[in-house]
Amino acid sequence: MEEIIVLLEQIKEQLAVRSKLMLSVDEAAKLLGLSPPTVRNLAYTADFPATKIGTRTMISAKGLAEWVDRQTAKPM
């Protein structure tokens, strides 16, 4: 029963994140299954949809989905 509650909380969290226009580095990292430092490093690449708002690095939710689509379309 406890596992089900944990899964429901994770689903609830993901749905809340998906309704946002901008994501924090930690939120984007969770969605991508990457560490926050890896996402911060990606933010310095030209094609990653990140921007600075004050001192925070924020990632466009729509841009992130498009970036993932582009990455998965590339041949390995």
- Other CB atoms within 10 Å distance of the CB of residue 76: 3
* CATH tag, 2-73: 1.10.10
56 phi and psi angles, rounded to 5 deg: -90, 140
Domain boundaries, the chain: 2-73
Rounded average pLDDT per 10-residue block, the chain, 76 residues: 72 69 93 94 95 96 88 80
Write down the H helix ranges in the chain. 2-18, 25-32, 36-42, 61-73
Specify the pTM.
0.74
**Cα(36)–Cα(21) distance, integer angstroms:** 19
Contact 37, 73 (CB under 8 A): no
